[in-house]
Amino acid sequence: MADWGSVFVPVMLFVLLSPGLLFQIPGHRRWVEFGNLQTSGAAVVVHALFYFALVCVFVLGIKIHLYLG
């Protein structure tokens, strides 16, 4: 059985933290915008930092494991 936790968590976080999909920090007109499907360079950097921090917490800190099969 393979441990799929280290694959599943980053993929889900990548989809959910894509700038402009659910939210965007910083937005074009406001500090936080929801569901505008647009992005900027600053938003990409902020979301990349959130992504890195959450992957470190979930995969390295909490050590989420998911066994299939």
Task: Write the pLDDT tens digit of every residue in 19-28.
Answer: 888 888 888 8
Q: Identify residue 54 by its one-letter amino acid code.
A: L
Range of the domain at 42: 2-68
Exposed/middle/buried for residue 2 (C-beta within 10 Å: 0-12, 13-18, 19+): exposed
**Contact status, residue 17 vs residue 50, Cβ threshold 8 Å:** yes
Tally of domains in the chain: 1
Q: How far is it, in rounded angstroms, from Cα 55 to Cα 53?
A: 6
Encode pLDDT of 7-66 as tens digits.
Answer: 888 999 999 888 888 888 888 888 888 888 888 899 899 999 999 999 999 888 888 888
